[in-house]
């Protein structure tokens, strides 16, 4: 079993790793051979959208695809600095001196199109009236709302990514692992994406309290 990365998080400002984060770690532990095979002979570009504490990217860097270029993004600037600290704390840079950069941005807006080989996203998936406004102040207490609230069906932010997936992933080779809760209606999402030509598989699912979480793999 792979080790869970250490973190040092200000829980008032950055999403605390929870069942969803740990489901992603288990997903990558389960998938690591097929992921390694897929990217054999390549230095893949790995991007986690909404990296939070950086625990998921750090786990992938340590255990799954150490020889990769990592771009972690988050709308929350404190998440970006925390993710960089998580990478340092776990010494992955010393063991696997491949690039890690955490950048504040909306989704993948500052990453070049069609350059991401492995995309990971644990989105704000809780249904809510709206996706919250971006706070203006670093010390604003509402940054954490952005980690959780996903607007209608909890899917507004996730649909922004899915609708643009064709332009985000590397043609033919790129794959995306995206987490859903049952209220996001992942079956309907899968059908819609299949109708657009995507292959969609449920990789792992788990009951977490009153929520059922699942991770879907999207590939062409
Ligand atoms: C559920 S948390 C997941 C954090 C971390 N990946 C994990 O699994 O523990 C969602 C993260 O997405 C970030 N986020 C929300 N909206 C975003 C957007 N439009 N672009 C980039 N990041 C966003 C939040 O700030 C938060 O860190």
Please count the CA atoms within 13 angstroms of the CA of 89 that sit on its side-chain side.
17
% of residues, the chain, pLDDT over 90: 90
Domains within the chain, CATH numbers bracketed: 19-219 (3.40.50.150)
Sequential DSSP letters for 50-111: S-TTSHHHHHIIIII-SSSEEEEEESSHHHHHHHHHHHHHTTHHHHS---EEEEE-STTTTS
Indicate the pairing of strand 175-181 with strand 211-219. antiparallel
Question: How much is the mean pLDDT over the chain?
Answer: 95
Report how far ligand 1's centroid is from the alpha carbon of 170 (Å): 22
Would you give the distance in Å from CA 47 to the centre of its chain?
7
Question: Considering only 82-86, 109-113, 115-119, 203-207, which range has the smallest mean pLDDT?
Answer: 109-113
Q: Is the CB of 52 under 6 A from ligand 1?
A: yes
pLDDT, tens digit (0-9, with 9 covering 90-100), for 66-76: 999 999 999 99
* Token couple for 115: 């350059």
Report how far ligand 1's centroid is from the alpha carbon of 25 (Å): 16
Q: Give, using CA atoms, the residue closest to atom 26 of ligand 1.
A: 147
Sheet holding 211-219, edge to edge: 100-104, 69-74, 45-49, 118-121, 175-181, 211-219, 199-208
Of 141, 155, 198, 139, the closest CA to residue 174 belongs to: 198
Average pLDDT estimate for 24-53: 97
Burial of 20 (0-12, 13-18, 19+ CB in 10 A): buried
pLDDT, tens digit (0-9, with 9 covering 90-100), for 19-37: 999 999 999 999 999 999 9
Mutate to test the pocket of ligand 1, among 60, 75, 213 (most ligand atoms within 8 A of CB): 75
pLDDT, tens digit (0-9, with 9 covering 90-100), for 186-212: 999 999 999 999 999 999 999 998 899
Q: Is the pLDDT of residue 98 over 70?
A: no
Q: Is the pLDDT of residue 112 over 60?
A: yes
Cβ–Cβ contacts within 10 Å for residue 198, how many?
18
Q: What pLDDT score does 26 carry? A: 98
Query: What pTM value is reported for the model?
Result: 0.97
């Amino acid at each position: 079993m792979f080790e869970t990365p250490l973190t040092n998080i200000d829980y008032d400002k950055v999403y605390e790793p929870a069942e969803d984060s740990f489901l992603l770690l288990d997903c990558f532990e389960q998938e690591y051979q097929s992921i390694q095979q897929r990217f054999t002979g390549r230095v893949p570009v790995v991007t986690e959208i909404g990296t939070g504490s950086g625990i998921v990217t750090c786990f992938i860097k340590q255990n799954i695809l150490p020889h990769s270029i990592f771009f972690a993004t988050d709308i929350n600037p404190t998440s970006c600095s925390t993710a960089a600290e998580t990478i340092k704390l776990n010494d992955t840079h010393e063991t696997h001196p491949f690039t890690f950069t955490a950048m504040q941005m909306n989704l993948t807006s500052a990453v070049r199109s069609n350059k991401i080989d492995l995309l990971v996203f644990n989105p704000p998936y809780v249904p809510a009236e709206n996706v919250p406004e971006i706070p203006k102040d670093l010390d604003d207490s509402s940054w954490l709302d952005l980690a959780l609230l996903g607007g209608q069906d909890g899917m507004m932010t996730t649909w922004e990514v899915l609708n643009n997936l064709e332009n985000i992933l590397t043609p033919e080779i790129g794959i995306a692992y995206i987490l859903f809760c049952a209220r996001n209606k992942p079956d309907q999402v899968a059908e819609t994406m299949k109708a657009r030509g995507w292959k969609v598989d449920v990789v792992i699912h788990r009951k977490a309290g009153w929520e059922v979480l699942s991770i879907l793999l999207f590939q062409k």
